[in-house]
């Protein structure tokens, strides 16, 4: 009887979204409208009919109750707010966002010498911060409550100011005004409404996380590998001197210079394998993995070093008395004169990102145990690239990048292909660059030699033996105002600083420069201009009078 009644012409054209029997009533939700029927009276006229509030769409859960022809609707939103509606009208609302507390700090603020205000700042799991007066014995103690875009791990008190922590990132919280500032070099920077992307390394949890406006968006956390590092390029494409490599036949091989590309390093202790992951730091997309087997007594903190800049990744692994140095050169394509980004005026790391093609090769540096590396760079990066290395025995030397060139008959591949994303250096089936159909153009004319002997003129520390101690030393290259010159800085137990000029002093006047000729030429030009200028003005004046 009831089924026949409720399926009449009144509801035949309506889409029934939900139906619930409550005591003597049937509640039917249709087209964002709630109708309540008394099925004992067997009438087609609803007892109550009202439009559902918009908050029900954002709610995590909701429930109905009926009493005396009255519909009570309780909604619980994702913002932890409880709302009560009676026949569609809001009766009361309560904020429960502070119900699940993550952290609490107490702040003292001096008003004058006789009064100190105390505030309790509460961080909830709902990304809400509540501020309470502790000096008030009566009245409203909740001073402020506001939502934050950052999912803080914890709060802490720093000199009676509130700071939030998210992984390795620090934030300053202005709890009285409800504002959050991210700290960069201890300087606050307000979080803007524009999307801000970042990625951070969290070693205690063995993971790398990506964030958008401080909120975690992706996570890299391998099961059987230990995350040891995260690398990003130190300078953007504006400081890259050339976006391509000019080949001997005048064709161009375009570098893979997509921004927001990072490198994650891992170590598998069970299999003694070092892993190098290429990843998009905005979306968390993994482009590919390179892995290399190491010795049993390998220590990733002391026996492994890696650098990443422009389109190349170079890492070193200590093997006995020697070091194996591998280079991974990344290209948009291994086809000359072909570029996927050439026509893009604006690039998006979300929509336009693509995996690179690569060439990789390994070399053995004899009788050198490399423990740290750095890349020579200058203000505009016009000078020749070199890789600066320090060793356990206190020596600093450099290797030209043209020596560490993967185009010297290295392995090649394309990470755009799904079946070619796990690259093992022990896999002898990988094709070499000499097998490519473009080998005549892209193969380096510098013949491959697996052994690298360090020439004495590349030893920057000369006869000195620097002491680094038991820890890995600090090694860095600092650009100067001269494009040809940079400082090499080494810090261990000893401190060592020297100057490196791989391309020579092309932007500096030498002592043999003849200043007298230059000064004489300038004076002569000034005299000629002074003599000719009046004559030129007189000729212009006579020309105006047609004389």
3-state helix, strand, coil in the chain (%, to 5): 10, 45, 45
CA–CA separation, 158 vs 156, rounded Å? 6
The span from the CA of 131 to the CA of 474, in Å, is: 44
Cα–Cα distance, 336 to 247 (Å, whole number): 9
H helix and E strand count, the chain = 3, 39
Distance CA 302, CA 387 (A): 18
The helix/strand/coil state of 434 is helix
**Residue 114, pLDDT score:** 53
Cα distance between residue 354 and residue 338, in whole Å:
14
Low-confidence ranges of the chain (pLDDT < 70): 1-15, 17, 22-23, 39, 41-44, 54-61, 67-69, 78-80, 97, 99, 110-116, 134-140, 185-195, 345, 418-420, 547
Model pLDDT for residues 192-230, shown as the tens digit of each residue: 556 678 888 888 889 999 988 777 889 999 989 999 999
Quote the tokens at residue 157.
């008190």
Measured between alpha carbons, how far is 517 from 216 in angstroms, rounded to an integer? 65
Query: Cα angle at 490 between 488 and 496, to 5 degrees?
Result: 85
SS3 letters across 153-173: CEEEEECCEEEEEECCEEEEE
Please provide the DSSP assignment of 388-419 as one string.
EEEETTS-EEEEETTTS-TTTT-EEEETTSTT
Residue found by looking up tokens 């890995």 in the block? 472
Phi, psi of 29 (to 5 degrees): -100, 120
Task: Give CA separation, 229 vs 37, 277, 304, 308, 545, in Å.
Answer: 65, 10, 11, 12, 80
Rounded Cα gap, residues 414 and 356, in angstroms: 6
Q: Which residue has the tokens 């060793």?
A: 391
CATH fold for the domain made of 8-95:
Thrombin, subunit H (2.40.10)
* Alpha-carbon separation of residue 138 from 141, 191, 269 (angstroms): 7, 35, 60
Residue 385: the pLDDT is 94
């Amino acid at each position: 009887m009831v089924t026949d009644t409720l399926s009449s012409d009144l509801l035949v054209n309506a889409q029934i979204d939900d139906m619930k029997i409550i005591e003597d009533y049937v509640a039917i939700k249709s087209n964002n409208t709630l109708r309540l029927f008394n099925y004992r009276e067997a009438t087609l006229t609803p007892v109550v009919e009202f439009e559902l509030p918009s908050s029900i769409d954002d709610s995590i859960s909701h429930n109905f109750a009926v009493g005396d022809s009255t519909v009570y609707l309780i909604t619980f939103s994702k913002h932890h707010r409880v709302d009560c509606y009676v026949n569609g009208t809001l009766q009361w609302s309560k904020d429960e966002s502070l119900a699940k507390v993550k952290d609490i700090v107490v702040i003292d603020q001096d008003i004058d010498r006789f009064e100190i205000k105390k505030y309790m700042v509460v961080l909830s799991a709902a990304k809400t911060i509540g501020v309470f007066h502790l000096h008030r014995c009566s009245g409203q103690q909740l001073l402020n409550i506001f939502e934050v875009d950052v999912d803080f791990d914890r709060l802490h008190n720093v000199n009676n100011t509130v700071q939030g922590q998210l992984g390795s990132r620090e934030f300053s919280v202005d709890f009285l005004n409800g504002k959050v500032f991210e700290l960069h070099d201890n300087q606050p920077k307000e979080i803007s409404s524009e999307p801000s992307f970042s990625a951070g390394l969290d070693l205690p949890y063995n993971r790398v996380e990506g964030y958008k406006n401080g909120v975690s968006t992706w996570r890299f956390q391998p099961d059987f590998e230990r995350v040891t590092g995260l690398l990003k390029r130190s300078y953007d494409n504006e400081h890259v001197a050339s976006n391509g490599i000019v080949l001997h036949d005048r064709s161009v091989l375009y570098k893979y210079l997509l921004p927001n590309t990072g490198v994650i390093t891992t170590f598998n202790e069970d299999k003694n394998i070092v892993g190098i992951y290429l990843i998009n730091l905005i979306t968390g997309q993994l482009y590919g993995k390179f892995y290399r087997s190491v010795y049993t007594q390998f220590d990733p903190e002391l026996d492994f070093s890696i650098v990443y800049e422009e389109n190349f990744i170079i890492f070193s692994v200590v093997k006995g008395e020697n070091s194996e140095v591998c280079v991974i050169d990344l290209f948009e394509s291994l086809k000359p004169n072909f570029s996927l980004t050439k026509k893009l005026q604006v690039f998006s790391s979300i929509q336009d990102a693509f995996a690179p093609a690569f060439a990789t090769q390994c070399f053995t540096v004899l009788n050198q145990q490399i423990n740290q590396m750095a890349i020579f760079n200058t203000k505009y990066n016009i000078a020749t690239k070199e890789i600066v290395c320090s060793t356990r025995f206190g020596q600093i030397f450099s290797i030209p990048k043209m020596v560490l060139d993967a185009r010297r008959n290295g392995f090649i591949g394309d990470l755009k292909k799904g079946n070619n994303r796990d690259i093992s250096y022990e896999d002898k089936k990988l094709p070499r660059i000499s097998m490519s159909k473009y080998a005549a153009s892209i193969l380096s004319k510098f013949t491959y030699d697996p052994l690298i002997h360090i020439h004495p003129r590349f030893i920057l520390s000369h006869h000195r033996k620097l002491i680094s101690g038991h820890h890995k030393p600090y090694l860095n290259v600092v650009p100067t105002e001269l494009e040809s010159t940079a400082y090499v800085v080494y810090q261990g137990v000893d401190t060592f600083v020297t100057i490196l000029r791989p391309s020579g002093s092309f932007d500096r006047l030498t002592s043999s420069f003849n200043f007298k000729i230059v000064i004489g030429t300038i004076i002569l030009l000034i005299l000629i201009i002074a003599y000719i200028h009046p004559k030129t003005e007189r000729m212009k004046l006579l020309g105006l009078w047609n004389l």
